Homo-oligomer: A and B are copies of this chain.
Amino acid sequence: MMKIYEEKTAPNARRVRMFLAEKAISDVEYVHVGLKAGENISSDFRQKNPLGKVPVLELEGGEFISESMAICRYFEVLHPANPLMGSTALDQANIEMWQRRCEISFMNLVGMGFQHTTGYFSDRMTPVKEWGEECIKLATKFMSFLNDHLANHEFVAGDSFTVADITAFVSVDFARVVHVRIDDEHQHLLRWYKSIKDRPSAQA
């Protein structure tokens, strides 16, 4: 059976779990890797991913794939039904554009905001508090941008649920770790958030 090495509460692990739940793929065994304890940066784990990041997919043939979006891509290509990364060239490009916007200008900023302001991983990186605070400000700003966008769109990238919704949704929940929550005035973001939260995959 395929294995995924991860820590369930980590946002990237959640992206992959949601993706697989939406695809109804269940023949995967999850193996816990303790991030705070540094299991992911052990020499043993670096055989699976030399950069020491999770999640990592291990195929039955023994190959390792890391990077959440690369893992999702693997399953998207093998299971094209119910596409979450688009079908036509324009769809695929539009979804990738929105996935990246949410990842680069939101998820990654929340992540850096958390790591640089809390020093959670100060045993393995150099936190720069001023930068972390700036990241949190920018992530908050992105939520406002996303709210405006969702005023005219049911989902993040067009008319159906896609991987862009997964990244945005996981990031909204993740943002709680830096005390950023959806503003009551952001009614479009709130409407969208509730609709995604109601999907069974949100519990994956």
- By a beta-carbon cutoff of 8 Å, the part of chain A in contact with chain B is 50-51, 57, 59, 63, 65-67, 69-71, 73-75, 77-78, 88-90, 92-94, 96-97, 100-101, 105, 116, 126, 128, 130-131, 134, 145, 149
Please give 17 more A-B residue pairs, beta carbons under 8 A apart, in addition to A65-B90, A70-B94, A130-B130: A50-B145, A50-B149, A59-B90, A63-B90, A65-B97, A66-B97, A67-B101, A73-B92, A73-B93, A73-B96, A74-B89, A74-B90, A74-B93, A77-B92, A116-B131, A126-B134, A128-B134
Contacts of A66 in B (CB 8 A): 97
Task: Quickly give the copy total for this chain.
Answer: 2
Contacts of A134 in B (CB 8 A): 126, 128
